[in-house]
Structure 1
Amino acid sequence: MRAVDQPSAPAADEQLADVRRLVTGATQRLLGATIAVTDEQWAAPSRLPRWSRAHVATHLARQADGLTRLVEGAAVGEHRTMYSSREARDAEIEAGARRTGLELQSDLDTTAGRLTEAFERLDHVGPSATTGWTASVEMRNLVAPARLLPLARLFEVELHLVDLDVGHEVSDVDAASAEWLLEWFAFRATARDEFPRVELRASSGFTTTVGSVGGPVVVRGSAPALLGWLTGRTDPDAVEGAGGLRMPSL
């Protein structure tokens, strides 16, 4: 497991507040887009292989619970993990995917609310190496500052809303969110050795570099288009310079 940090991660209070506002907006869109989904539609395939929409919703809810555990640990200076094991996580998702639409919607709503409340409580904890927003927390194969947890949530909500196939596309992600998510992808990729070096240049003027192997290859496009290509949710034709290059998944 690798501990990483980078200057572009949200460090200042106003940056952290901006990301949290984006999380709130994305969560509202998620709940609004799924409120009318029927039981049959929840059971139908999502855009993710082997997962129904109910699998995706359950994953989002359990991810919120996992992040809440990390935030609560940071509040008291305790090391906690998102999940007891990968097997337990997968079993929870499989079991949860058999629920009704009402149960799924309630789970999405209540777990998102608990995470928001945990974020708010952490605001009142003094920062140190073990507590507050500067505390180190253990995410999947990564140790990083707690201030990155809202960004981790934003990534999941925005992209899995696309995966739910309920009318939201990567192109609907606003530019500010997309730029933060490109930073998050670049940040996560620093803990991996197989990512080719790619310089992302958004039409807004935003730039970041992903990976360290070879290159660099320069890829251009709007921030949402770059996000879609980087995460395998849009074709390489949506951006310029990607050619046949496909990035590994996180």
Structure 2
Amino acid sequence: MSPMTAPHPHGWSIGGSLHEVRSRKLEMTQRLLGETIRLSDREWQEPSLLPGWTRAHVATHVARNADGFVHSLDALIKGRPQRMYSSEADRQSDIERGSQRTGLDLQIDLDTSAGNLNRVFDQIEGLDPDTMIELRAGFRIPVVLLPLARLNEVVLHHIDLNVGFTPDHVPQPVARWLVEWTLLRLEGRDDLPPLHLSSTSGLEAALGGVGDRSEVHGSDQALLGWLTGRSHGDTVQGTGGVMLPLLG
């Protein structure tokens, strides 16, 4: 296991080293900003791939997600752990208000919030890697996985922005890491069909309820798209047309 990665109970590590994940997070954030800077105010108000949300909604969510991570990590360091958002109603209200801004304001918000978060992430190296942080009710992760959680947000919502970036464009090893992260998030859900997943990079995992498991196989990029509801699984073997829930 690489330094500062988090172990999974089934024996595989989640993500790369803290340095590797943070480096890729910066790279993928800059890629998102480089593509969205070309959008006009009108294009920002066009539909994203998320039902009911414009591109401006998605961008505002990505910025507020960064603020939420800053809030949670800062509170943890100060010994008063708090979740990312004060309430779901406040979160939705912030996103709705923010979605009405100009493209320039959205771009500044995305850039500034990402920069603030990256500086706060510097403090993770001084923490015990086994320290747990609760991001929302019932979902606790090792603090060293926060950069991976943020990388997931940046990549998936880049896809959602509908600017030509698809799961096929996610580089290795980012796609592999995000499949691992997604499996962690889906673990224990018995509302999913029983599956045995294997990827071309060698990852294997069981998912879903009890019963005979269907064999599902594909590249990390294809599995990421299917597991997160960003694709219909046309390039994944064994899905049988099953569409999984959309994950943020």
Task: Give the structure-1-normalised TM-score.
Answer: 0.89
Q: CA deviation at 1:5?
A: 5.9
Structure 1: how far apart are the matches of 2:236 and 2:189?
24
Q: How does 1:56-95 map to 2 (within 5 A)?
A: 56-95=58-97
- Which piece of structure 1 moves more, 225-234 or 80-89? 225-234
Q: CA deviation at 1:208?
A: 2.9
Q: CA deviation at 1:66?
A: 0.5
Q: How does 1:224-243 map to 2 (within 5 A)?
A: 224-243=221-240
Partner of 2:62, secondary structure, is helix
Indicate how the Cα distance of structure 1 residues 249 and 169 shifts in structure 2: closer, same or farther if over 3 A, else same: closer
1:8 correspondence with 2:12:
yes
Listed one character per residue, the Cα deviations across residues 126-148 of structure 1 (whole Å, up to 9, x for unaligned) are 42xxxxx4322112340121112
Structure 1: how far apart are the matches of 2:190 and 2:67?
29
Would the aligned equivalents of 1:5 and 1:144 in 2 still touch at CA under 8 Å? no
Listed one character per residue, the Cα deviations across residues 55-85 of structure 1 (whole Å, up to 9, x for unaligned) are 0000000111111112212322321110000
Output the amino acid matched with 2:119. E
Structure 2: how far apart are the matches of 1:38 and 1:162?
18
Residue in 1 that maps onto 2:4: none
Aligned residue pairs total 239
Indicate how the Cα distance of structure 1 residues 41 and 200 shifts in structure 2: closer, same or farther if over 3 A, else same: same
Aligned counterpart for 1:201 among listed residues 193, 198, 201: 198
5+ residue gaps in structure 1? 128-132
Residue in 2 that maps onto 1:135: 131
- Which piece of structure 1 moves more, 70-79 or 48-57? 70-79
Indicate how the Cα distance of structure 1 residues 181 and 75 shifts in structure 2: closer, same or farther if over 3 A, else same: same
Q: Which has the higher helix share?
A: 1
Partner of 2:17, secondary structure, is helix
Structure 2: how far apart are the matches of 1:196 and 1:76?
42
Q: CA deviation at 1:150?
A: 1.1
1:215 correspondence with 2:219:
no
Aligned counterpart for 2:183 among listed residues 183, 186, 194: 186
Would the aligned equivalents of 1:75 and 1:122 in 2 still touch at CA under 8 Å? no
RMSD: 1.9
Listed one character per residue, the Cα deviations across residues 8-47 of structure 1 (whole Å, up to 9, x for unaligned) are 3448xx6222211221111111111111111000011111
Residue in 2 that maps onto 1:130: none
5+ residue gaps in structure 2? 1-6
Residue in 2 that maps onto 1:155: 152
Structure 2: how far apart are the matches of 1:235 and 1:205?
22
Q: Which has the higher contact order (CA 8 A, sep 6+)?
A: 1
